[in-house]
A and B are shown apart, each in its own frame.
Chain A
Amino acid sequence: MATTYHPGSDLEVLTPYTPSPTPATATVHKSSLWSWITTTDHKKIGTLYLFTSLFFFIWGGVEAEIIRAQLGGPNRHLVSAEMYNQIFTMHGTTMVFLAIMPLSAAFFNYLIPLQIGARDVAFPRLNAFSYWVYLFGGLFISLPIFFKLAPNGGWFGYVPLTTRTYTPGLNVDFWVVGLQILGISSLAAAFNFITTIINLRAPGMTLMRMPIFTWMSFVVQFLIILAFPAITVALFFLMMDRFFGTAFYDMAKGADPLLWQHLFWVFGHPEVYILILPAFGLVSEVLPTFAKKPLFGYPVMVYSGILIGFLGFGVWAHHMFAVGMGPVADSVFSMTTMLIAIPTGVKIFNWIGTLAQGQIRYTTANLFAIGLVGLFTIGGISGVMHSSPPADLQQTDSYFIVAHFHYVLFGGSIMGIFAGIYYYFPKLFGRMMDEKLGKAHFWVNIIAMNLTFFPMHFSGMLGMPRRIYTYDAGQGWETFNAMSTGGAYLIVVATLIFLFNFFRSMRSGTPAGPNPWGAATLEWTLPSPVPEYNFATIPTVTSRYPLWEGKDVDIESARINQQGGKTAKQLGIVLPYNTIKPLLVALFLVLMFCGLLVGQRLLIGAAAAMAISLYAWLTSPLEPEHH
């Protein structure tokens, strides 16, 4: 329970604050294209996730800018109404499934094995498979926009709008099939991480000594495996309706229009926590380091994370107050929604408690983390407002809702992920990001973000509905929309500063050394960038903050691990083979789904090819035999 901190102990010996003068070993990033395609290394896969999801983040951002340009003033016709439908649908779909979830997955991949003292995830090839399914599935759902065939039924695809009767054409087919593909990627990754966290912890790494990011990731994986089946079934019904004429969402045959909404939100609300808990975990790593204090109330942070995950399955119908479920259902879901605010509030107070009386260093990572605490609170408060059905009836489907969920997703998830990127960049690339540019990014970003989304509260309260492609003058919405659009343009500036800083620092940042921030957890005992085998010797863990508790740290292991510079062969460490097979299985899987849209021949051919490559995967050994 007691996590005492001993300033000035052996920590100084192990973790010099001054960056080491020798340039970082950048071998990880000089390797050939083929080694990236065939990799099974969780760090390389994490890096692939990071770059791919940043790419989709920018793609989704461009869509957002088009939306804001269109809405900047009344009666603008930059894009047609039909195109606007495709763009807002894809903005939501891209940001949720292709940007924020995989940005979190980048951190799961990179950090979980390092934080628990493992050499890799439990199933390295399955991990590669998850990434390739994500990449191909992401392209499958994103590319149709160039042919004006992008999904156009909104990110939550309500029926009967999305049935064949009301939305003919390929647009919604791409969405239905694309989300099925992405679900496979998330589920495969979740089974992998659950097994990794349960089974691959270093000796002494008990559950209650695990770093809080790993804890929050652990909760998220359970949310994924329990929530995704619901949307899989909902999408399967819609697919059957659209392709084979079944009756699930056919009102003429007596179907219930709420079946989709219930199934979707049984997935959709846990999904909200799937998006935010990893960011909470990252912030819970950043704040203690820069306050030089252990996380305030660690056990309570763990339990509140679990409670949020648990309650997350009991609040879904608060997305449906407007459909008329009746007073009993409305009251129950209203109460559970208010209840879930409690563990979330506990987290906010614990972060403040962590900062209180700390020796705070205002690095960029810390600024973003503190930014999350403030901005997420605003989004959280407007969220609690929606828990009251009468208030929600006024706000639902208005820009007030748009303001709310952008405060939790941009102000929460994205701010947390930026904190994580600035914090872990040195670990990934062996170099520091520029702090001046970082701070410029932070300040422009936070001003721009508030300028964009705060006025949406007002345009929403003035009655501006979501998803309209343009509006008439004289309804009092012009000023607020102009502000939002100006803010959105400023977000472009902030993001450009970030990208410039990111790519410049990758090549010419100051070399980082193993522990540039003086942090306390296991990943900081390793050289930056981390050698392919992670730990030369697996450490024995005796506390939550091994690098801060001089008396407890496994100094010998830490010293060996920190040296680096040796190959796995020299150390006698057996690593998995590189292999192309997971990529092939993923490719044929996605082609098989394409077959649903293109024709039976492709479907059957790809299914056969997938079966063959899967068989080749399962019958080939993971790694060389060792004795």
Chain B
Amino acid sequence: MSATSHYTSTGLDNRKIAIWAFIGSECMLFASLISTYLVYKGRSITGPFPHEVWKDPSTGHVFKPILNIPVTSMSTFVLLMSSLAMVLALAAVQNKHVPKRTLGDKILGSSKLWLFMTALLGATFLGFQAFEFTSFVHEGLTIKTNLFGSSFFTLTGFHGAHVTAGVIWLLTLLMIDFKRGLTPDDALNVDIAALYWHFVDVVWIAIFTLVYLIR
């Protein structure tokens, strides 16, 4: 892109500055969502609750704690691994012209493979989330049920929407890679997508800790 050849005060590309400003803004978005979740924690009048058993006084039905920490730990692991794949994808694009001798070099140097892996791991995380959401609904927790339901589904839903946008972004890069091959000139495009992707991951670490792990 011609934009990169312009003179800039910092020597950095405009898009790099803009993505950092965007991430700063996103921090405030998730800070507001997470604060709301924490403020409303323990204030729901009726269950089901995240960590406690609840017996519905009118029906006598007993709801077990809704959060399934082992399953979500797995999806968290999947998402963290996607960040690793993202790092490898960027490195592969940056080192496109470095000759690859061994099979290991060839595998590590395949931007298509690592972009695909990142997107696949992201999509797997989304699959876990879809499973989680549907099982919660089956257990009796919807976005309308109580304060916990509203704030939980909105917070994790916002995060899931960000992951979805990231997966579409990665698949677009993968498509370009198949069409004409990404070169070190495209590294910035991948770099920006990577910054976004890592940010979405870091936000999930905060959500996983504050929502799932801390009682």
* B146 sits at the interface (CB 8 A): yes
Q: How far is the CA of A432 from the CA of B147 in the complex (A)?
A: 60
* B14 sits at the interface (CB 8 A): yes
Interface size on A, residues (CB 8 A): 44
* B102 sits at the interface (CB 8 A): no
Among residues of A, the one whose C-beta sits closest to the C-beta of B14 is: A122
CB distance B39 to A200 under 8 Å? Answer: no
* A609 sits at the interface (CB 8 A): no
CB distance B147 to A255 under 8 Å? Answer: yes
Nearest-CB distance from B43 to chain A (Å)? 5
CB distance A247 to B150 under 8 Å? Answer: yes
CB distance B18 to A195 under 8 Å? Answer: yes
* A443 sits at the interface (CB 8 A): no
Nearest-CB distance from B65 to chain A (Å)? 19
**What are the interface flags for B141-178 relative to A under an 8 Å C-beta threshold, 1 for contact and 0 otherwise?**
00111110111001000000000000000000000000
Q: Which of A13-21, A226-234, A294-302 contacts the other chain? A: A226-234
Among residues of A, the one whose C-beta sits closest to the C-beta of B157 is: A240
CB distance A195 to B10 under 8 Å? Answer: no
CB distance B18 to A191 under 8 Å? Answer: yes
A-side contacts of B44, CB under 8 Å = 253-254
CB distance B154 to A237 under 8 Å? Answer: yes
Q: Which of B23-31, B72-80, B92-100, B109-117 contacts the other chain? A: B23-31
Contact of A622 among B3, B21, B32, B144 (CB under 8 A): B3
Q: Which of B33, B44, B45, B144: most chain A CB closer than 10 A? A: B144
Per DSSP, chain B at the interface is helix
B-side contacts of A626, CB under 8 Å = 2, 5
* A201 sits at the interface (CB 8 A): yes
A-side contacts of B5, CB under 8 Å = 626
CB distance A225 to B143 under 8 Å? Answer: no
Q: For chain A residues 262-280, which have a beta carbon within 8 Å of chain B?
A: 263, 266
A-side contacts of B33, CB under 8 Å = 233
* B17 sits at the interface (CB 8 A): yes
Q: Which of A123, A192, A199, A625: most chain B CB closer than 10 A? A: A199
CB distance A201 to B149 under 8 Å? Answer: no
* A621 sits at the interface (CB 8 A): yes
CB distance A248 to B25 under 8 Å? Answer: no
Contact of A187 among B25, B46, B143 (CB under 8 A): B25
Q: List 10 extra interface pairs beyond A256-B40, A266-B32, CB under 8 A.
A: A190-B25, A199-B8, A230-B32, A234-B32, A236-B154, A237-B154, A244-B144, A247-B150, A259-B39, A263-B32
A-B CB proximity, top 10 nearest? A229-B29, A229-B28, A233-B32, A225-B25, A246-B150, A122-B14, A254-B45, A199-B8, A247-B150, A201-B9
